[in-house]
Structure 1
């Protein structure tokens, strides 16, 4: 079985490859890709694999863009943190998923489903995939967020948001005018709603707007130190594995 991993975080891709090798010794990971651009190029120029493990959010956007250019005829296992509605939609279309951070048992279960439904994957699962993805993925990202503050509902334009972060265990909006608002969604959910060209998930605590980035400095242990145009409660650091993806996001606009 030939497998492709499409994952923008090098460490996560290596971990996934290790688990695949352990649970399916006969399988071979023939390519590890990090972006929409490289995935489209590879899938256009090479024979399609038997299976693809695909991250939802890649270095240059959401993976759904791949399907607009390339017709994929093999089963796909999505690696995602989408909410339950989206996950159930993928399942109904017979495309499996694993939640991050995934375990060895998650991958074993995913392979089992692929084995059981292989014929169904080949005959009908891909047929309606593009329609499903179009329904789940807004093309340009969410334009505003509805918040409740001082006993009032207020609409906050996404363009006015400098960053999202976790404050007192709550997802919080910080605007360029320094106003703050709490929202009910998790950062994972918020990230899936935003335009990937406008916002970047720095780490588990912060999602930043491109317009809010002032400068970036090299830091200890090959990390990056990101400074915004407005103050942040914490020092914004990006680990060395994610640093190349962030720099690529800054450059490729």
Structure 2
């Protein structure tokens, strides 16, 4: 079994590797990546593991940015210190969600799930698990948002939203016709609910619609400056660590 570890803490990654090798001596660790950018680059070059152990919060952002840039067909075990991302994790190929500090027992249970799934598919004469995961339909993305303004409730079509952004610690919507609404969800929740093909989390404050992007410029310190068809309250800057995944997302149409 070929396994990739995506973990930005070297000590944690080494501990995980030791547990894996004690449980599965025949396992081959084929990759050890610490960032979204590095993971996207390596996986884009054809790394095809049988299983990935993945932390959620990496050095340059959330691991879910990886799925926006590359197609991953193998099962994934998420190992993280945060429990609020479990729903988004299982919208990818997640088969287990382990909270840190993990143990030999919890990692062993994750391997047991992998084995049981593979055995089930083989007994049912279904092709391998990886092929099935690749063919599964993605969960339905959110198509509308309920908003409240001027003492009235109404819905906004997701396709009409140019970008989501944070203002005064609240999540706001800006539509293509320049209407602004406040919603109750966090930006993390929104990012997990909308189409990752249509929206990209450019930074902690902004989630933008592909259709709203007008042009992209190089900026200082190898950052990217994103300009939209609608003016934003702040400059939309993408740091150098996320630039590669953003450009890959732009190209993957």
TM-score of the aligned structures, taking structure 2 as reference length: 0.70
Instruction: Describe how 1:97-176 pairs up with structure 2 within 5 A.
Output: 97=98, 106=100, 108-109=101-102, 112-116=105-109, 118-124=111-117, 137-138=139-140, 141-176=141-176
Runs of 5+ in structure 2 lacking a partner? 22-27, 34-38, 57-62, 122-128
Q: 1:210, 1:191 → 2: CA distance?
A: 14
Give the secondary structure class of the aligned counterpart of 2:195.
Answer: coil
Runs of 5+ in structure 1 lacking a partner? 6-12, 99-105
CA 1:218–1:233 in structure 2 vs 1: closer, same or farther (change >3 Å)?
same
CA 1:248–1:211 in structure 2 vs 1: closer, same or farther (change >3 Å)?
same
The aligned length equals 222
What does residue 195 of structure 2 align with?
A: 195
CA 1:24–1:224 in structure 2 vs 1: closer, same or farther (change >3 Å)?
same
What does residue 13 of structure 2 align with?
A: 20
Q: 1:87, 1:59 → 2: CA distance?
A: 13
CA 1:29–1:85 in structure 2 vs 1: closer, same or farther (change >3 Å)?
closer
What does residue 222 of structure 1 align with?
A: 222
Q: 1:60, 1:85 → 2: CA distance?
A: 15
How far the C-alpha of 1:122 sits from its partner, in A, is 1.5
Q: 2:3, 2:108 → 1: CA distance?
A: 14
How far the C-alpha of 1:151 sits from its partner, in A, is 1.4
Q: 2:104, 2:205 → 1: CA distance?
A: 32
How far the C-alpha of 1:61 sits from its partner, in A, is 3.1
Q: Name the Cα RMSD after superposition.
A: 3.9
CA 1:146–1:137 in structure 2 vs 1: closer, same or farther (change >3 Å)?
same
Give the secondary structure class of the aligned counterpart of 2:47.
Answer: helix
Give the secondary structure class of the aligned counterpart of 1:21.
Answer: helix
TM-score of the aligned structures, taking structure 1 as reference length: 0.70
How far the C-alpha of 1:54 sits from its partner, in A, is 7.0
Q: 1:226, 1:169 → 2: CA distance?
A: 22
How far the C-alpha of 1:158 sits from its partner, in A, is 1.0
Contact 1:164–1:171 under 8 Å retained in 2: yes
Q: 1:88, 1:60 → 2: CA distance?
A: 11
CA 1:75–1:237 in structure 2 vs 1: closer, same or farther (change >3 Å)?
closer
Q: For residues 69-90 of structure 1, give each alpha carbon's deviation from its aligned partner in whole angstroms, at most 9, with x where no partner exists.
A: xxx4x76226698857737979
